[in-house]
Amino acid sequence: MVFSEKLLQRLKDAENVAVLTGAGVSAESGVPTFRDPGGIWEKFRPEQLANFEAFMNDPDFVWSWYQHRREIMREVKPNKGHIALAEMEQVFPKFGLITQNIDNLHFRAGSKKIIELHGNIERNFCMKCRTFYEEIDLSEKKVLKCEKCGGLIRPDVVWFGEMLPMNELRIAEESAANADVFFTIGTSAEVYPAAMLPIIAKRAGAYVVEINTKPTAISAELDEILTGKSGEILAELITVMKSTRNLK
Ligand code: BJW
Ligand code: ZN
């Protein structure tokens, strides 16, 4: 992969780098994406499962779908892309890793500061008394009831029509607005407000780079498009970043 002179210069000078990741970053680990063929949503539209009404209509069905995804996520490992992003945190004085993913793979790759916009699949809470439950037993195929109050337990993820965690969204918007270079990686940029972040960065003067296997809803608005698998591109990019900044 050839990186442009402009990108290399921007990275050499950058103090502040921010990254938005989506499901594509975990694809090379074996986690299905949402909107690609063979993805999680192929049989069901996102709105059919990842929303409050779907859960209330058939909690066991939606719960078993999350259990299935937990099974996949616990079996897979971080890939070269997650590892390169964890290393990038050490390269730049200010680095913001913003993820839409709920799969814990950035954490497992060693990233320390992660802004999780859509929650985390390993956290669950009672909808009635908000007691939190972690490390759910994967053999529980039927929705769990709270030990304290009998309320339904749901995953601590953000469904359609729900607000994103306010603090995380504020930090993400600030990181985007302050970035010298902003990467949007492995996301179709179809889901808002996350898809606004690269645009916020662009309007505030950042050099905005997309890494994806194919064009997205916002490609035309960005500065540079790197087409290919994010694990491969990020592994090359971190090597170049370290050498341009004289790091080992
Ligand atoms: C690779 C690769 C490789 C593959 N290497 N790349 C403004 C305008 C229009 C609508 C709205 C708006 N503001 C809000 C809305 C409504 C809605 C929305 O955005 N709808 C759109 C669909 C139009 N947003 C919301 O409801 C949000 N809440 C909100 O805004 O609250 C305020 C509000 C409330 C009520 C009314 C109005 C406002 C909440 C959104 C929550 C999204 N939740 C999900 C589920 C999380 C839990 C779970 O996982 O079960 O989050 S949906 C799903 O999509 C998940 C993802 O994080 C999210 C984004 O998907 P992502 O990561 O981009 O994956 P894919 O599959 O789409 O793309 C993968 C990409 O990777 C592809 O491009 C591939 O090419 C690429 N790829 N292999 C590199 N190896
Ligand atoms: Zn409870």
Q: Which segments of the chain does DSSP mark as H helices, in order?
A: 5-13, 24-27, 46-49, 52-57, 59-75, 80-91, 105-109, 166-178, 196-203, 230-244
Residue 232 beta carbon below 6 angstroms from any ligand 1 atom: no
Burial environment of residue 129 by CB neighbours within 10 A (0 to 12, 13 to 18, 19 or more): exposed
Nearest residue CA, atom 56 of ligand 1? 100
Residue 24 beta carbon below 6 angstroms from any ligand 1 atom: yes
Q: Is residue 169 located within the same domain as residue 223?
A: yes
Nearest residue CA, atom 20 of ligand 1? 191
Residue 75 beta carbon below 6 angstroms from any ligand 1 atom: no
CATH number of the domain within which 130 lies: 3.30.1600.10
CA of 77 to the centre of ligand 1 (A): 23
The predicted pLDDT at position 247 comes to: 60
Q: Is residue 221 located within the same domain as residue 106?
A: yes
**CA 87 to CA 110: how far, in whole Å?**
8
The predicted pLDDT at position 39 comes to: 65
Q: Which residue reads 């950058």 in tokens?
A: 14
Domain endpoint, select from 157, 182, 216:
157
The predicted pLDDT at position 89 comes to: 95
Q: Is residue 19 located within the same domain as residue 139?
A: no
The predicted pLDDT at position 139 comes to: 87
Peptide bond into 155 cis (omega under 30): no
Domain endpoint, select from 129, 157, 185:
157
Q: How far is CA 90 from CA 85, 108, 241, in A?
A: 9, 16, 11
CA of 6 to the centre of ligand 2 (A): 54
Contact (CB, 8 A) for 49 and 43? no
Q: Report which bound ligand comes closest to the CA of 215.
A: 1
Contact (CB, 8 A) for 153 and 127? yes
Q: Is residue 55 located within the same domain as residue 113?
A: no
Q: Is residue 232 located within the same domain as residue 180?
A: yes
- The first and second tokens of residue 156, run together, are 């601590």
Q: Is residue 1 located within the same domain as residue 39?
A: no
User: What is the domain range of residue 206?
Assistant: 1-31+76-118+164-248
Cα-Cα-Cα-Cα torsion 25, 26, 27, 29, nearest 10 degrees, comes to: 130
Q: Is residue 86 located within the same domain as residue 197?
A: yes
The predicted pLDDT at position 218 comes to: 97
Compute the chain's Rg from CA coordinates. Answer: 19
Catalytic residues, which ones? 118
Q: Is residue 124 located within the same domain as residue 88?
A: no
Per-residue confidence of the chain (248 residues) as pLDDT tens digits? 889 999 999 999 999 999 999 999 999 999 989 888 776 667 777 677 889 999 999 999 999 889 989 999 999 999 999 999 999 999 998 999 999 999 999 999 999 999 999 999 999 999 999 999 998 888 888 999 999 999 999 999 999 999 999 999 999 999 999 999 999 999 999 999 999 999 999 999 999 999 999 999 999 999 999 999 999 999 999 999 888 876 65
Q: How many domains does the chain have?
A: 2
CA of 57 to the centre of ligand 2 (A): 19
- The first and second tokens of residue 33, run together, are 């994406």
Residue 22 beta carbon below 6 angstroms from any ligand 1 atom: yes
CATH number of the domain within which 189 lies: 3.40.50.1220
Q: Is residue 40 located within the same domain as residue 51?
A: yes
In the chain the first and final C-alpha atoms are separated, in Å, by 21
Q: Is residue 114 located within the same domain as residue 196?
A: yes
Q: Is residue 217 located within the same domain as residue 203?
A: yes
